Amino acid sequence: MNDTFTLGIILARAGSKGLSQKNVLPVAGRPMIAWTIDTARSSHRLNALCLSTDLDAAAAIGRAKGLIVIDRPAELATDTATVDAAARHAVLEYERMFQAVTHVALLYANIPVRAPGIIDAAIDKLLETNADSVRSLSPVEKFHPDWMHRLDGDRMIQYRSNSIYRRQDLEPLYAHDGAIVAVTRESLFRVDEIDPHAFFGRDRRGVISGGPTIDVDSAADAHVAESYLNPKRVSAEPHASRILSAAGDGVEPKSIATLIGAKRPYVIAEIGVNHDGSVDKAKRLIDAAKRADANAIKLQIFSADVLASADAATCDYQRKQPGAALSQRDMLRRLELPDDALHELRDYARDVRIDFIATPFGLDELAWLADKLCPEAIKIASPDLINVPLLEAVSRCRCPLIVSTGASEWIEIEAAVESLDHARQDHRLALLHCVSSYPTPIDQVNLSIIHRMTGAFDVPVGFSDHTIETETGAFAVLAGADILEKHITLDRTAPGPDHAASLEPTAFADYIRRAREARVLLGRSDRTCLDIEREVRSNARGRIVARHRIPVGATITAEALSVQRPGDGIPPNDIGRVIGRIAAMPIERETPLAWNMMSTIS
């Protein structure tokens, strides 16, 4: 048994004759495939896990959750392609990249509910019995063959002749429920054109599921899964329940629009770790942010020893700072703020009437933040865009949520937004375009992404700005940013990881002033004639006049008309209504036409 290697393969085909792209449809607030991934990850018998799919959205979710993703060829993703063929392809690809496989566990992505432990039970039986395959089974119960009928027109004919009246008298029968197929590699690669089930082998065993299995092929199936998972989910996640309780269970969620308000852009002064571990310096930065007209300040909440391992190296821009630590842990230890200091700074921010926002770097920090500090919003830093447990937990908070997207691929943003579906449905989610380079060169800012993100995700989008310029915020506003985040420092030359990529108070105030002016420049999108335009509209537009004298009774032609300023007569866009009418009186040259000078069209 020690020489075995069991590969779990999650199968997620894009096509479906029932529900389109069902494997990524939301069930209980998460993509359906996420439930299978988490169940598979709880297995103690799987040595590795991969995803076989031709669906981009499923692949993005898989990669975000750390799975090996194997692109399924088109010929193995048709309605007629067999599951075992796709599995064989996945095994060969895995072996090409990694190592040999002895046993395989097939897991369908459209089964969000499986009995606890069923994956390990099937694999254990496969290994202990040396069978060719083991499938999970559920009792047939009400749909027993002895209670089934054929129809001849509308006449019922027993499928199997019997006189069984009570369910308990029915012969125990079982059907494969799809929760798992465990099979040896040798058997999986047994192909017989006559027998499509040849890959199950000759020695086929079963293990009875000790709980429900919900195979989703229809909208009704999805509703059943939804009703089963919703209550289970909250009770199974201690961090989520703590966060929900802290945020005010039963309280109406606060939308991101309520946070941002009418004074856009909403500007966040990112203090981050520029306080250098000093509460006094942090208060001075809060004062500077308030004077600069920022809407909020932001701090970071972390435990250095939990966040970074002892061998986690600092980045190049961090090592260049005077007296820089070589490890992330040593650097961050100097910058931690104790709980009482964070309480004090939260209270100080509220005293000076500026919003308090914080970034938690773990589930414990998130729960503490929501429970003890009750911030106006929670910010998730770019490195945690793929931290699915943190995203799913923070999504269930009731306060606004702002998520940065630096150093990411587009598919990772898509997967993160799926994990944040609770927040998006409650209109609590905003995204920030971000370039994780400190400082960011101007030619790498890529503000056009703001427009793309707004259209793709239908949430407010902002810009986490790591340039050292004072005009980039204004440019971002013109590109569509509703939120700006910018580092503030008291001294750009001070030692520390972020000071050099920050703005000092005077420059920070100039940054905000320019951004607010840009918003004024944008104005509104509806087009009506403004009061300040009316004089020009009247004097510079033209009216229809007679090009030459038009005698009474003459038919007015286009050649008889001209357009002259000012525009206080019949406008030229009504010329079609004038042509063909009869002059009711002589009209002298350059006389502005009026409707009483003409009769109806001849």
Q: Express each pLDDT in 333-376 by its tens digit.
A: 677 888 999 999 999 999 999 999 999 998 989 999 998 899 99
- Comparing 470 with 251, the larger pLDDT belongs to 470
In whole angstroms, what is the distance from residue 77 CA to residue 249 CA?
A: 44
Q: 61-120, pLDDT tens digit by residue?
A: 998 888 999 999 999 988 889 999 999 999 999 999 999 999 999 999 999 999 889 999
Residue with tokens 């525009």: 567
Q: 187-244, pLDDT tens digit by residue?
A: 999 998 889 999 999 999 999 988 889 999 887 888 888 888 864 343 334 444 445 4
Position 332 scores a pLDDT of 64
Residue 348 CA to its chain's centroid (Å): 33
Given a cut of 80, whether residue 326 has pLDDT beyond it is: no
Position 497 scores a pLDDT of 80
Position 458 scores a pLDDT of 92
Position 396 scores a pLDDT of 86
Position 325 scores a pLDDT of 60
Average pLDDT over residues 487-506: 93
**Nearest to 379, CA basis, from 352, 354, 398, 361:** 361
Helices (H), 176-320: 185-188, 219-236, 238-247, 256-260, 279-291, 304-307, 316-319
| 3-state SS record for 197-225 | CHHHCCCEEEEECCCCCECCCCHHHHHHH
Position 302 scores a pLDDT of 84
Average pLDDT over residues 386-398: 89
Q: What percent of the chain stands above pLDDT 70?
A: 91
Given a cut of 60, whether residue 247 has pLDDT beyond it is: no
Position 240 scores a pLDDT of 46
Q: Work out the burial of residue 504: count CB atoms within 10 Å of its CB; fewer than 13 is exposed, 13-18 middle, 19 or more buried.
A: middle
Report the amino acid identity of residue 146: D
Position 249 scores a pLDDT of 46
Average pLDDT over residues 490-508: 93
Q: DSSP letter string over 7-69?
A: EEEEEE-S--SSSTTGGGSEETTEEHHHHHHHHHHT-SS-SEEEEEES-HHHHHHHHHTT-EE
> Where does the pLDDT of residue 252 fall: very low under 50, low under 70, confident under 90, or very high at 90 and above?
low
In whole angstroms, what is the distance from residue 464 CA to residue 476 CA?
A: 10
Task: Extract the tokens encoding 95.
Answer: 């072996």
In whole angstroms, what is the distance from residue 68 CA to residue 76 CA?
A: 18
Residue with tokens 């779990």: 8
Distance spanning both ends of the chain, measured CA to CA: 102
Domains and their CATH numbers in the chain: 6-236 (3.90.550.10), 239-248+256-521 (3.20.20.70), 531-601 (3.90.1210.10)
